[in-house]
């Protein structure tokens, strides 16, 4: 006999047997024959069989397996269930017939959950899923959550998010609880024509019961992607809703969003998920990798490639290449969504801007003093290039300012201590420069503060160790300095608490090591040095990255996590891995992000985070 035919006959025989068994059990239920337990529901009594109820329902199985009163008295009284609904449930237990319909599905689902009947719960799920529509999917989502049926809840949840513009107009939408609305508008997967549309829908929900719901307004505003709506919309929102101005929690959300708009130079430091793009939006948050070195041997192989990783699509793309080859030791920074590159060994006076809204590079006015190994930062409406070397002096003090309004360079001042291979970060209008290699080719531990408004520079204290090739990253108002040996310092602006001194000559404690990746602990000052000046040690050691030793890496932040990108190890191994560091937790966590490894290893490159229109990301890199 053929196997398939044998299997078919076996199934037919089994189905015939189950049909006979079901018919017999249905007859015993109707007659009460051999019943050994009575179930009371309201004024109806059901003559049932413990073995049948226990075989299908763990609820009854547990009841009849112990010396519970119901088992001893052979009487079960059920409350909070309609007798017709229990009749349907019992019919299903004894016969397996389809007892679920549009009129009873919610109550049958509730009863099946109470009595722990998985097969009936699944039948209710299947029925609801088959009946799901834009009009009722919110109701089905609520039912699924109430009965902890996450498979059904997830399927309907996807429908709600994907069809939000339509579902937000249904009769069930205003009946959402505040926490349910928050979970919808806070989702990265929400599909909406604009963030303004999401805000409009949320405010309409408030308006359906304004006196009651405005107490929840701060939760709603805190979940909206307010930084991504226009500033005009934000002011209009405050004007139309006077309650916002009376609630400090609401104003905090509005002011944070306005700060995002007004502080273009610090936009990429915002860690809130509300400032990030959604999965189905028209723009993507991207990590951009610019140029760099692809080899470690002399006559280094440089590249003009510009790559980016989309955090929404988890894929790498090519962006337009650099307009010229800067070589290496160039500097990068962002202002708003635009990114800038300056200097470099092959183009000391070069300056270019990538305009994300045009998807193209534009060459800017040349620097006054060419340089490489410098740092570049954005402060308000200006770009500053600081220190570095010019091919003649090993380290220079020059600070230049590029005005984004006039698109011209001017001399802005000088560092107290000329340094290269340093790092810098901005707090308010002040630029803090950390360590670096000095004019005497030694490592410094000095922290220099350049006041961009006053055009003055001072040495405000020392780091706990001398260093070169550090990297800094800002998470909102917190600044972290990462050293090549894995030490991570947390830095805060001390200048409002201390009397600064204007240094007239270099006085940072130096280390004579010539290694590019060297970091040494600082030594105490000699008894005769600066006897009347108290040197303040700045920076708190936050942690030390385990098994970390690399230099010429880059760092950015995304959603409050630090991404450590590429670099080179002391044994000249070029890296392409990206490490993700979460400093928000008590225990240091270093993890990998899906598909985030760079397509090719590189060092001495530029790296920033910005936002790019999704339709510009059309040249995918196969990795």
298, 242: one domain: no
Q: What is the CATH number of the domain that holds 467?
A: 2.120.10.80
The range of the structural domain enclosing residue 365 comes to 283-490+536-616
Lowest mean pLDDT among 193-207, 514-528, 568-582: 514-528
407, 546: one domain: yes
259, 319: one domain: no
Q: What is the mean pLDDT of residues 524-553?
A: 71
The reply to whether 529 falls in a domain is no
d(CA 199, CA 273): 16
For residue 529, the model assigns a pLDDT of 37
The reply to whether 297 falls in a domain is yes
For residue 496, the model assigns a pLDDT of 65
Last residue of a domain, one of 131, 164, 199: 131
Q: What is the CATH number of the domain that holds 110?
A: 3.30.710.10
The reply to whether 10 falls in a domain is no
Lowest mean pLDDT among 27-31, 192-196, 495-499: 495-499
201, 334: one domain: no
Lowest mean pLDDT among 123-127, 467-471, 531-535: 531-535
For residue 8, the model assigns a pLDDT of 66
339, 412: one domain: yes
d(CA 623, CA 621): 6
d(CA 472, CA 425): 6
235, 333: one domain: no
Grouping H, G, I as helix, E, B as strand and the rest as coil, residue 79 is coil
Q: What is the CATH number of the domain that holds 210?
A: 1.25.40.420
d(CA 25, CA 17): 12
203, 298: one domain: no
At residue 505 the predicted structure's pLDDT band, cuts being 50, 70 and 90, is very low
The reply to whether 524 falls in a domain is no
251, 298: one domain: no
434, 353: one domain: yes
pLDDT at 5 over 70: no
The reply to whether 170 falls in a domain is no
d(CA 185, CA 194): 12
The reply to whether 501 falls in a domain is no
d(CA 612, CA 85): 56
Element (H, E) at 260: helix 248-262
For the chain, what is the mean pLDDT?
89
At residue 497 the predicted structure's pLDDT band, cuts being 50, 70 and 90, is low
In contact, 460 and 445? CB cutoff 8 Å: no
Q: Which residue has the tokens 């107009």?
A: 169
pLDDT at 151 over 50: yes
Last residue of a domain, one of 72, 105, 131: 131
Number of domains in the chain: 3
337, 389: one domain: yes
In contact, 343 and 292? CB cutoff 8 Å: no
For residue 11, the model assigns a pLDDT of 67
Q: Which residues contact 288 (CB under 8 A, 6 or more apart)?
A: 306, 307, 308, 319, 339, 354, 606, 607, 608, 609, 610
d(CA 89, CA 566): 62
| pLDDT cut 90: percent of the chain above it | 73
Last residue of a domain, one of 228, 263, 298: 263
At residue 149 the predicted structure's pLDDT band, cuts being 50, 70 and 90, is confident
pTM for this predicted structure: 0.83
For residue 396, the model assigns a pLDDT of 97
Lowest mean pLDDT among 378-382, 532-536, 542-546, 577-581: 532-536
The reply to whether 433 falls in a domain is yes
The reply to whether 169 falls in a domain is no
At residue 18 the predicted structure's pLDDT band, cuts being 50, 70 and 90, is low
pLDDT per position as a tens digit, 269-325: 999 999 999 999 999 999 999 999 999 887 889 999 999 999 999 999 999 999 999
297, 392: one domain: yes
For residue 351, the model assigns a pLDDT of 98
408, 317: one domain: yes
Task: Find the angle CA(608)-CA(614)-CA(616) to the nearest 5 degrees.
Answer: 80
């Amino acid at each position: 006999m053929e196997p398939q035919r044998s299997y078919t006959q076996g199934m037919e025989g089994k189905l015939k047997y189950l049909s006979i068994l079901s018919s017999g059990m249905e007859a015993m239920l109707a007659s009460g024959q051999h019943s050994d337990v009575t179930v009371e529901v309201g004024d109806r009594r059901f003559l049932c069989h413990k073995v049948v109820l226990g075989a299908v329902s763990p609820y009854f199985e547990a009841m009849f397996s112990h010396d519970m009163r119901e088992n001893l008295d052979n009487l079960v009284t059920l409350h909070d269930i309609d007798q017709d609904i229990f009749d349907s449930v019992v019919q299903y237990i004894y016969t397996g017939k389809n007892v679920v319909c549009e009129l009873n599905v919610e109550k049958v689902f509730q009863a099946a959950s109470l009595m722990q009947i998985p097969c009936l719960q699944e039948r209710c799920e299947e029925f609801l899923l088959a009946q799901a529509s834009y009009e009722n999917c919110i109701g089905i989502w609520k039912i699924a959550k109430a009965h902890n049926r996450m498979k059904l809840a997830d399927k309907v949840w996807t429908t709600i998010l994907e069809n939000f513009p339509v579902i937000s107009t249904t009769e069930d939408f205003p009946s959402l609880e505040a926490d349910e609305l928050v979970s919808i508008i806070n989702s990265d997967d929400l599909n909406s024509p604009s963030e303004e549309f999401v805000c409009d829908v949320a405010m309409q929900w408030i308006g359906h019961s304004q006196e009651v719901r405005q107490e929840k307004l701060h939760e709603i505003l805190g979940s909206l992607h307010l930084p991504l709506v226009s500033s005009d919309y934000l002011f209009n929102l405050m004007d139309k809703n006077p309650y916002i101005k009376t609630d400090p929690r609401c104003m905090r959300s509005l002011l944070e969003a306005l700060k995002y708009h007004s502080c273009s130079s610090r936009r990429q430091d915002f860690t809130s998920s509300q400032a990030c793009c959604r999965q189905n939006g028209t723009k993507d948050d991207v990590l951009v990798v610019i140029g760099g070195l692809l080899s470690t041997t002399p006559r280094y192989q440089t590249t003009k490639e510009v790559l980016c990783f989309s955090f929404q699509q988890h894929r790498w793309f090519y962006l337009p290449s650099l307009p010229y080859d800067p070589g290496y030791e160039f500097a990068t920074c962002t202002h708003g969504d635009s990114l800038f590159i300056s200097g470099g060994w092959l183009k000391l006076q070069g300056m270019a801007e990538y305009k994300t809204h045009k998807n193209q590079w534009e060459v800017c006015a040349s620097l006054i003093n060419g340089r490489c190994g410098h740092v570049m930062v954005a402060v308000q409406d200006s770009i500053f290039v600081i220190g570095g070397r010019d091919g003649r002096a090993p380290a220079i003090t020059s600070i230049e300012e590029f005005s984004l309004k006039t698109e011209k360079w001017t001399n802005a001042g000088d560092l107290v201590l000329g340094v290269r291979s340093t790092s810098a970060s901005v707090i308010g209008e002040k630029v803090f420069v950390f360590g670096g290699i000095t004019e005497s080719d030694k490592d410094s531990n000095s922290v220099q503060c350049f006041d961009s408004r006053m055009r003055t520079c001072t040495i405000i204290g020392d780091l706990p160790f001398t260093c070169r090739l550090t990297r800094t990253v800002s998470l909102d108002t917190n600044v972290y300095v990462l050293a090549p040996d894995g030490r991570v310092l947390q830095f805060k602006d001390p200048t409002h608490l201390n009397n600064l001194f204007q240094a007239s000559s270099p006085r940072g404690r130096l280390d004579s090591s010539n290694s590019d990746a060297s970091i040494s602990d600082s030594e105490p000052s000699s008894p005769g040095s600066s006897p009347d000046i108290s040197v303040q040690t700045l920076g708190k050691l936050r942690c030390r990255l385990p098994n970390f030793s690399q230099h010429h890496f880059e760092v950015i932040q995304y959603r409050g996590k630090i991404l450590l990108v590429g670099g080179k190890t002391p044994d000249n191994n070029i890296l392409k891995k990206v490490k993700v560091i979460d400093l928000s937790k008590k225990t240091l966590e270093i993890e990998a992000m899906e598909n985030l490894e760079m397509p090719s290893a590189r060092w001495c490159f530029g790296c920033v985070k910005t936002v790019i229109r999704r339709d510009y990301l059309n040249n995918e890199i196969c990795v």
